[in-house]
Structure 1
Amino acid sequence: MAQPAAPLVSAVDKSAVRTRRALRALLLGLFAGLLSSTVVVTALPRVVADLDGGQAAFTWVVAATMVASTLSLPLWGKLADRADRKTLVQISLGLFALGSAWCALAGDVGQLIAGRAVQGLGAGGVNALAQVIVAALVPPRERGRYNGRITLVMTAGTVAGPPLGGVLADTPGVGWRACFHLGVLLAAGAALTLHRTLRLPDSGRTSRGPRPDLWGAALLTAMVGALLLAVTWAGNGVPWVSWPVTGTACAVPVLAALFVRRQSRAVDPLMPPRLLRDRTVALSALAGFAVGPALFAAPALLAQYFQVARAQSPAVSGLLTLPMIAGLLSGSVVSGRLISARGRWKLPLAAGGLLLVLGFSVMGTAGARTPLLLVGAALFAGGSGVGVVSQNLVPIAQNAAPPDDLGAVTSFVILSRSLGGVLGLAALGSLLTARVDALTAAHAPAGTGLDGGLPDLRALGPPAVDGVRAVYGQAFGDVFTAAVPFALLALAAVLLLREAPLRSTLDEH
């Protein structure tokens, strides 16, 4: 009687092995996207100088990938509900490889920015489809564990990129173009592994029925793009009360109204209005938007804080951000295991929201001479809160979604988180510029080099360095204080969520 069970066990083991291999390939694709997004940061001065770019190119080379990735998320999520997901993730990896090759061959800054945008389209697909495919392979109760691994890979790509880019750019005979060649190789490796290992229950589906809502995608892109342009222009020397900023800002609500109208009338809407009627999905998206600035904007701001306000080298600055990275990793992994073991998530997410508020509040008191031990403790607390909240919102929303809306719900929550990060970075960066200008006019002595650009402390004398550090220290404290309401909003959204035990199988609902 016991012998017939052996083939069944063997089949289950083989399925588990294939699942692990497929997930490893997905993680490789995510790593490729993040590494290629961050690897250029350290090499950026060399890149722009080689391509005869100006100061504005610094912002757009970094922003192009992030904006394209964010804006493409809803479309990828909708396609994931209608087309073969294995094919889609391979297409997204192909787009990412194409964008990387484009960047590697770029002859001017315009070509580089265009290539970075294509990279972003591919990265957005990999990001959204990875979450959808994990949901198709793993029961909701187990997803916290795999989302912890996703966080680990995201952190590894974020941390490894800048030092690797600096090494490649400074190595004779290699240069910054190797940063993008690396992206091509990683994406190709991920696509080949997925082709051999990924087996999905719905891998044979075809895209029958209405076509995706391309008009909705265009309106959403225009709306988000106008909002980003208004915030970016206002933070880079263009007055808030001016035709470019005011006109673009006024276009945002008009485009938003047109987008909502389109979604209510479309046969197959990009973001079905019924998603917002689901309390769990709506609050998960709101919490994701509120935690986005901490996940995406804080690391960029911290690099400037340590290098200018604390007068540290880029290498030392990277080391000083490790407490936040350690907190993000530990918070994500520990909460994922607890949620997988108990199937309950409300208490861990509430604790994460409190840690996020605590971390931002303490950083709001930081200045040029705050003890680094206190700064490190605040970063660890804030990072832990980000890790707990951000990576568990997607499985919570997926748990409440019907199977046919899985892709739309996944992309909706990820889009909200990414959009919060993009807008948070633009808004907090604009606030930083405004505070530095105001404090410079009121307190900083002459000769500090605060003329609208990032000051070079190595070229200044001791009195000027002290003045610059004092101005930036106070300005960064004001910026982190202004970020506290985002953390409070995330905590409020989490507390308003109604806890429902995560399902233990793929077919329950």
Structure 2
Amino acid sequence: MAQCRHPSMSPAETRRAFRALLLGLFAGLLAGTVVVTALPRVVADLDGSQAAFTWVVAATTVSSTLSLPLWGKLADLADRKTLIQCSLGLFALGSAWCALAGDVGQLIAGRAVQGLGAGGVNALVQVVMGTLVPPRERGRYNGRITLVITAGTVAGPPLGGLLADTPGVGWRGCFHLGVLLAAGAGLTLHRTLRLPEAGSGRAARGSHLDFRGAALLTAAVGTLLLAVTRAGDGVPWMSWQAAGAACAVLVLVALFVRRESRAADPLVPLRLLRDRTVALSALAGFAVGPALFAAPALLGQYFQTARAQSPAVSGLLTLPMIVGLLVASGVVGRLIATRGRWKHLLAAGGLLLVLGFSLMGTVEAETPLLLVGAALFTGGAGIGIVSQNLVLIAQNAAPPDGLGAATTLVVLFRSLGGALGLAALGSLLTARVDDLSSAHAAVGAGLDGGLPDLGTLSPSAVESVRAVYGQAFGDVFAAAVPFALLALAAVLLMRETPLRTAHGEPGHGPDHTPEAGAAPRTGPGRGPARGPGPEPGP
């Protein structure tokens, strides 16, 4: 019988540890979205500007993205229980920093510290689950992880709006909540989680962190994000500044690839990208990142500016996306666990993602909410099917000693796509608002260099601002459709391989699996291979 859990933990202990992991993951993901609907209130209280919206949201995503490779490498070298507790501690520290912030600069700094901890939680939860649960059983657990990703990523806006509108709590309560959640997860993991000691094998001895590679990756990603954020906001795309930034990014990427290809213990093992399944999983993760991270941030602003809703109501209007994520991820997770087949399910998710973004690309200020809700449900279902199961596919294709690196590679590309998507779509939104507002004199007066406050404008100005933002958001969501198409193409190019049913089985990637339709291996005293092959015909 296939082993379903790590032998050092009982089934009850595994369930308790997994619940604590989910609590920590929820806290980390909540940090990225809970402040979105409260952001106008935050900017007003701290005397921030229009640029504060992008950076308060992006600070956590960027720092989380840049820290992912380091956490993933540490997971292959050091004690994973200690690492995840350290990441939860960093997250709690950043949350407390944000709650006490006296200006926008302090808030952004606290959000960056939050992101360092959240990056560790996001990467290590996947690695720890890979240690506890074999691939065949992970489909069931992935459904629960995706449910938490749903709650943390998408339910943050309604929760943040509710806290912002609650007297005596305000937006600072969003960060106090993060401290409590991180503390609860850390204490529970301290009591329940027991893992084999990491870093004791022959391959791990003599290993070291690739700080030079980390510095090059940080510089490349940071330069790219800064350039994309500035584009459309005072710096044209076709300018010497943009060209210089592009050249700098290309040079830094080349240096990073050269460093990683020569390093004895690279930060991101490029050899993993030689596996077709792992490479396509990373590409699909990059393409689905904007839907997972950028869409919730933009939706909160759409409902408040184009639809003139309060923060609390704006958050509630995102519920169709939450429902789509919950239903699709739960159903598909169980189907993958019971049948062992995944490609046709992920392809269906990619189609739903394309359809959802295409429908959102048609929205305006007066679009019926029923149509907006249908588009959000469709897109949410696509996100739920695709995003989390990409990690499962990459883990199944990677060798056992590369589990942490493969996991982090996919999560890194997914988070990087989310960070770049947020910056690019936010810059496009600013540029489109500037272009469209030239036809509405009342809009310029209403913006005054900052976020529009509809409560202080005349009825005619409110209608103009709503019309401009409604059209601008439709254009922004339409511009995101190519990302969804790229995710779908990557899934279609994957070769479906059977999922392992126990820890330590040989990899089932393209280099290890017989061609489709080949008979299962048999031998003296051995039945058919236990890997879940294609379902029998009728």
TM over 0.5: yes
Task: Write the distance in 2 (CA, Å) between the matches of 1:127 and 1:319.
Answer: 25
Q: CA deviation at 1:56?
A: 3.4
Matched position secondary structure for 1:261: helix
Q: CA deviation at 1:477?
A: 2.0
Q: CA deviation at 1:17?
A: 0.7
- Is 1:72 equivalent to 2:51 in the alignment? no
For residue 109 of structure 2, what is the aligned residue in structure 1? 114
For residue 86 of structure 1, what is the aligned residue in structure 2? 81
Deviations 1:62-121 (A, max 9, x none): 221111101101111111111111111111112112222333344443333222211111
Task: Write the distance in 2 (CA, Å) between the matches of 1:447 and 1:178.
Answer: 33
- Is 1:196 equivalent to 2:185 in the alignment? no
Deviations 1:288-331 (A, max 9, x none): 11111111111122222222223333322222211111111111
Aligned pairs (5 A) from 1:140-219:
140-166=135-161, 168=163, 174=169, 176-202=171-197, 205=200, 208-219=205-216
Matched position secondary structure for 2:500: coil
Matched position secondary structure for 2:365: coil
Structure 2 CA distance for partners of 1:26 and 1:186, relative to 1, 3 Å? same
For residue 4 of structure 1, what is the aligned residue in structure 2? none
Structure 2 CA distance for partners of 1:107 and 1:466, relative to 1, 3 Å? closer
Task: Write the distance in 1 (CA, Å) between the matches of 2:28 and 2:405.
Answer: 21
**Deviates most, 387-396 or 300-309:** 300-309
Deviations 1:121-146 (A, max 9, x none): 11100100000011111111121221
Q: CA deviation at 1:430?
A: 1.5
Amino acid paired to 1:395: L
Task: Write the distance in 2 (CA, Å) between the matches of 1:139 and 1:387.
Answer: 21
- Is 1:254 equivalent to 2:258 in the alignment? no
Deviations 1:237-276 (A, max 9, x none): 2333445443323210000000000001101001112111
Structure in which a larger fraction of residues adopt helix: 1
CA contact (8 A) 2:281 2:490 kept: yes
- Within the candidate set 413, 418, 434, 1:416 is matched to 413
Q: CA deviation at 1:447?
A: 5.4
- Is 1:40 equivalent to 2:24 in the alignment? no
Q: CA deviation at 1:173?
A: 5.4
For residue 391 of structure 2, what is the aligned residue in structure 1? 394
CA contact (8 A) 2:33 2:152 kept: yes
- Is 1:468 equivalent to 2:465 in the alignment? yes
Aligned pairs (5 A) from 1:405-484:
405-441=402-438, 443-446=439-442, 449-450=446-447, 453-484=450-481
Amino acid paired to 2:186: A
CA contact (8 A) 1:231 1:430 kept: yes
**Deviates most, 225-234 or 303-312:** 303-312
- Is 1:16 equivalent to 2:7 in the alignment? no
CA contact (8 A) 2:356 2:379 kept: yes
Matched position secondary structure for 2:309: coil
For residue 271 of structure 1, what is the aligned residue in structure 2? 268
Task: Write the distance in 2 (CA, Å) between the matches of 1:303 and 1:107.
Answer: 24
For residue 343 of structure 2, what is the aligned residue in structure 1? 346
- Is 1:25 equivalent to 2:27 in the alignment? no
Aligned length, in residue pairs:
500
Amino acid paired to 1:74: P
- Within the candidate set 236, 239, 243, 2:236 is matched to 239
CA contact (8 A) 2:327 2:381 kept: yes
Matched position secondary structure for 2:329: helix
Task: Write the distance in 2 (CA, Å) between the matches of 1:317 and 1:108.
Answer: 25
Matched position secondary structure for 1:201: coil
- Is 1:126 equivalent to 2:121 in the alignment? yes
Task: Write the distance in 1 (CA, Å) between the matches of 2:443 and 2:223.
Answer: 37
Structure 2 CA distance for partners of 1:310 and 1:102, relative to 1, 3 Å? closer
Q: CA deviation at 1:278?
A: 0.5
Task: Write the distance in 1 (CA, Å) between the matches of 2:35 and 2:480.
Answer: 27
Task: Write the distance in 1 (CA, Å) between the matches of 2:464 and 2:167.
Answer: 38
**Deviates most, 216-225 or 233-242:** 233-242
CA contact (8 A) 2:40 2:451 kept: no
Q: CA deviation at 1:181?
A: 3.2
For residue 536 of structure 2, what is the aligned residue in structure 1? none
Matched position secondary structure for 1:40: coil
Q: Percent identity?
A: 80
CA contact (8 A) 1:68 1:120 kept: yes
Matched position secondary structure for 1:41: coil
CA contact (8 A) 2:157 2:296 kept: no
Task: Write the distance in 1 (CA, Å) between the matches of 2:460 and 2:163.
Answer: 36
Task: Write the distance in 1 (CA, Å) between the matches of 2:464 and 2:172.
Answer: 38
Task: Write the distance in 1 (CA, Å) between the matches of 2:150 and 2:357.
Answer: 20
CA contact (8 A) 1:235 1:429 kept: no
Task: Write the distance in 2 (CA, Å) between the matches of 1:363 and 1:201.
Answer: 47
CA contact (8 A) 1:323 1:379 kept: yes
- Is 1:403 equivalent to 2:384 in the alignment? no
Amino acid paired to 1:196: R
Task: Write the distance in 2 (CA, Å) between the matches of 1:466 and 1:110.
Answer: 33
Structure 2 gaps of 5+ residues are: 507-538
For residue 278 of structure 2, what is the aligned residue in structure 1? 281
CA contact (8 A) 2:33 2:296 kept: no
Structure 2 CA distance for partners of 1:475 and 1:185, relative to 1, 3 Å? closer
For residue 3 of structure 1, what is the aligned residue in structure 2? none
Structure 2 CA distance for partners of 1:101 and 1:368, relative to 1, 3 Å? closer
Task: Write the distance in 1 (CA, Å) between the matches of 2:106 and 2:305.
Answer: 31
Query: TM (normalized to structure 1)?
Result: 0.92
CA contact (8 A) 1:440 1:450 kept: no
Structure 1 gaps of 5+ residues are: 1-7
Amino acid paired to 2:184: G
Structure 2 CA distance for partners of 1:203 and 1:306, relative to 1, 3 Å? same
**Deviates most, 210-219 or 298-307:** 298-307
Deviations 1:444-489 (A, max 9, x none): 3545635554333333334333333332222222222211111111
Amino acid paired to 1:456: D
**Deviates most, 322-331 or 405-414:** 322-331
